Chain A
Amino acid sequence: MREEVKPAPAANAVPWLRALPLIGLALVWQLAAMGLQSRALPAPSSVLLALWEETVSGDLLFHLGSTLSRVALSFVLSMLAGVALGIWMGRSRRVDQSLDGLLILGLNIPALVTTILCYIWFGLNETAAILAVVVNKVPMVAVTLREGARAIDQGLMEVAQVYRLSRRDTFLRVYLPQLLPYLFSASRNGLALIWKIVLVVELLGRSDGVGFQIGSFFHFFDISSILAYALAFSALIFLLEAACLRPLESYLNRWRG
């Protein structure tokens, strides 16, 4: 239907094809670590060992949990705000023109700057942390959804109008399904981007979470633990995508046949 946003290919296309480059990377890493024998590049085996130790002590789970709840909260908030803003801008040319400058500004402000400003203005607290992430993510969601709102098929909206569908049915069964590819695109990018920003936010002003831990390990030059935490969280996000987003997307796209 639309060219810009294509539905993801079926999740179970060829599973080992997805894993192959990762295994290759691990192999190269192991060989390089063995050759260099440097503290700056620990071998995969010592990263796995650090991962095990952190898991057993309970630290890993605790900090993963803190980060994950921040990611979840800021994801939900920025999707809600971004979708509403995007639809609003996509529907009205006037709104679009008056907010476009702000949107470009929002897209280009570095996450670091908004984070520091939020901490300075609102204090070193949880609200400031979440707000910083949301402010960073909302413009991206809005831009994607604005594209979707502009591509709405007016013909189908006319059907809804002629047959006097309720506002609820018009929105949920005629309007929203047309936005789904854009919603998924925004969610997928959102998940990947948000956890990276959350780490920065934690590093700068929180005393728990993966970002805080990585900051601490940096002071002790504990590269194995840094990599262990990064690996654990990447795996978690990967799992979330594979276990939730992909199945949901292929279910909602089943009509494309």
Chain B
Amino acid sequence: MTALSVRIHSKRFGAGTPVLQDLHFKANTGEFVAIVGPSGAGKTTLLKVISGLERDFSGAVETSTDVRTALVFQEPRLMPWLTVAQNLCLVAPALSAQRVQALLASVKLHDCAARFPGQLSGGMQRRVALLRAFIVQPNLLLMDEPFQSLDAPTAQQLRTLLMDLWQQARPTVVFVTHSLPEALALADRVLFLSTGPSSVMLDYALPTPRSGDLTSTAVMALQQDLLNQHPLLLQGAMGLGVAPAN
């Protein structure tokens, strides 16, 4: 069943050249879709369009009528003046104190309920941000390079946590990243964006089961295979041709 249908005809800022053009894709219910593209390809803009933060574009984004969207940003974006527990209750006011405690314990943040975000490490803040996204029980979860700028072991811990939470609730996920191994390790399908104005140039379905581990041999082999076929994939171009002239 289709949970998300994106048909962006054109998105531009002011009178500039379009950032996104003829970008179309669909995601099925419970599917984990990763979007990979070079930096500046409008990935964040795409998520803003899907989440409704950006309404000034031509085209349409269709979701189910009972859609509950959550968005995990590049930075944790917790309210610094609210405690961890207050940050969670802000988006889900019905949560009881015990439930908050249990949820925090489930992501290994046992003693953090009364602490302020500024007193937590970057990795801990991101765990809170991830938890905040899941406690609204989204059926559409959008993620914008959420594990960027973390050290490798912390990022891997968070990916494992994401996989656990996702397996439990199974929301449809659109996960934006510029890391091909990350996309290959997490997703059911990977969409590759071209350089601007961006559109989907390759829709790549992954064999299951996923490993969740960036350094696994399966992920390495997939990456090798893809890059042999399309050496310029990560620069936003298809085929074997030489790099496009600037």
Contacts and interface: CB of A to CB of B under 8 A. Distances in A.
Interface of A: 155-156, 158-159, 161-163, 165, 169, 173-174, 177, 252, 254-257
Interface string B58-80: 00000000000111010101011
Nearest to B135: A163
B116 A163 contact: no
Closest 5 A/B residue pairs (Cβ): A163-B91, A255-B116, A177-B81, A162-B71, A255-B81
Nearest to B90: A173
Contacts of A155: 73, 75, 77
A5 B52 CA distance: 34
B79 A174 contact: yes
Contacts of B118: 255-257
A257 B119 contact: yes
B77 A156 contact: yes
A165 B91 contact: yes
A163 B81 contact: no
B168 to A, nearest CB: 20
The B interface is mostly helix, strand or loop, or mixed, namely loop
Interface residues of B, number: 21
Contacts of A165: 90-91
A255 B117 CA distance: 8
Given A162-B69, A255-B118, A257-B119, A156 B79 contact: yes
19 contacts: A155-B73, A155-B77, A156-B79, A159-B73, A159-B77, A159-B79, A161-B53, A162-B53, A162-B71, A163-B90, A165-B90, A173-B79, A173-B82, A174-B79, A177-B79, A177-B81, A255-B80, A255-B81, A257-B118
Contacts of A161: 52-53
A162 B51 CA distance: 7
A92 to B, nearest CB: 18
A169 B75 CA distance: 22
A163 B79 contact: no
B124 interface: no
A115 B197 CA distance: 61
Interface in B1-55: 51-53
Contacts of B132: 163
Contacts of A256: 118
